[in-house]
Chain A
Amino acid sequence: MRPQALIAEITHRCPLHCVYCSNPLAMRPRGEEMPAAEWKRIFREAAELGVLHVHLTGGEPVARPDLEQFVRAGRAANLYVNLITSGIGLTEPRLDALIDAGLDHLQLSFQDVEEAPANEFAGVRAHARKLALAEVVRARQIGFTLNAVVHRQNLDRLEDIVGMAERLGVDRLEIANVQYYGWAIENREKLMPTRRQMEACTALVAAHQQRLKGKMRIDFVPPDYYARYPKACMGGWGRSLMVVDPAGWVLPCHAAGVIPGLTFENVQARPLRWIWEESAAFQRFRGEEWMPEPCRSCDRRHEDFGGCRCQAMLLTGNPSATDPVCSLAPGRGLVDAVVERANAGGVDAAGWVYRIDPV
């Protein structure tokens, strides 16, 4: 079993306060952040394990003044270095320094195509600055992805979001429906799309994928509460991805901290290889031993690995349950109830719960 990518959450600090942030509710404060030299060793150990990609993320990775050293360290370990950013704080000289250090790819997030709602979802006036940065990035020789997070409040503007990506000249557009972990679950009522929106966006994406073939690649993350079968979350637990948080804790998934009883290891105390191969947290849901029925005898178990453990925990209270988005899951009624409410009309008019910044 060889990991393919390392997700490096190098800081949890972020100038944005997105209402669907995937960071855990309990974040690592600045004082716990590891120095770049420690990360350099982690990247080397990851490369020795077979990792090919490192995704520099956060929080906002640009919040680290030493970000350039991370890029250099990734390339020194022969990794493909991707920066996942809101763009805030990324000036033109800094971008060029990152490119000189070997940055392969930049993924810029957008909250909407219209300024007012974009700023509302981000909790800060970021949209215009993102547009300005996109013009700079498109002129550089690095891969460029626009990531648009979509949900109930902006799905009706998806056509214009695709148009914005085309105008900005990106190589790839990722249209990602909100996944309900972290802060998003706090705002689920306001974010959950209607069935009509879900059907419209699926058809629209398919049409644009066809139209833009060879010009702009579109990847789509469907809203999984409407799915018949669960997603292969993280490509299967402990199968291809690992997350290292700002303080060095190694997780099989961003949200794994919600699962009680898992003991995580810290890469400052243990070799990464041991954590990946031997540690209890990575072993816990690897393979099929842990699976209940209907997963255990299901033909799809090699495709979806039983779905998402964190989602099972958040919705059913049991991390070993079949992912309740599966139509065969005993817990599917929990998901159906949420979907039913989303389609019944009246959305909770209460305000957003904004992601706060760690101290």
Chain B
Amino acid sequence: MTPAHVPRLARGCRLREDADQGWVLLIPEGVLRLSGPGPQILRRCDGSRTFGDIVTELTQEFAATDAARVAGETAAFLERLIERRIVVVE
């Protein structure tokens, strides 16, 4: 993942808020329960923001001091979803 990449949710995958479970990601045959910064990351994977934009915004939102660490953790999170074709990158 480089700063210029544009990650977005794959077609057929959708975020929603659930009364009991908080933010969940609905995928074709299942549900992923999101914890930590997952919802904040995925809400920004809308096809308009680059990976660089997303990291900048997350660093601000969480008042993080180490942007490189935010980038590393966000990339690792997204890459797991890319393998499962829940997120795609352009």
Contacts and interface: CB of A to CB of B under 8 A. Distances in A.
Contacts of B26: 52-53, 80, 104
Contacts of B85: 171-172, 214-217
Contacts of B14: 80, 104
5 contacts: A50-B18, A52-B16, A52-B26, A80-B26, A214-B85
Interface stretch (B5-13, B38-46, B54-62, B69-77): B5-13
A109 interface: no
B31 interface: yes
Contacts of B12: 104-105, 142-144, 171-172
Interface of A: 2, 4, 50, 52-53, 78, 80, 82, 104-105, 107, 141-145, 171-172, 213-217, 219
Given A104-B12, A144-B11, A172-B85, A2 B20 contact: yes
Contacts of B10: 143, 171
Given A52-B18, A104-B12, A214-B85, 20 more contacts: A52-B16, A52-B26, A53-B26, A80-B14, A82-B28, A104-B26, A107-B28, A142-B11, A142-B12, A143-B10, A143-B11, A143-B12, A143-B13, A144-B11, A144-B12, A171-B10, A171-B12, A172-B12, A172-B85, A214-B82
B16 to A, nearest CB: 7
A46 to B, nearest CB: 14
Given A53-B26, A171-B85, A4 B11 contact: no
A213 B82 CA distance: 8
A52 B11 contact: no
Contacts of A50: 18, 20
A143 B28 CA distance: 7
Given A143-B10, A143-B13, A215-B85, A172 B20 contact: no
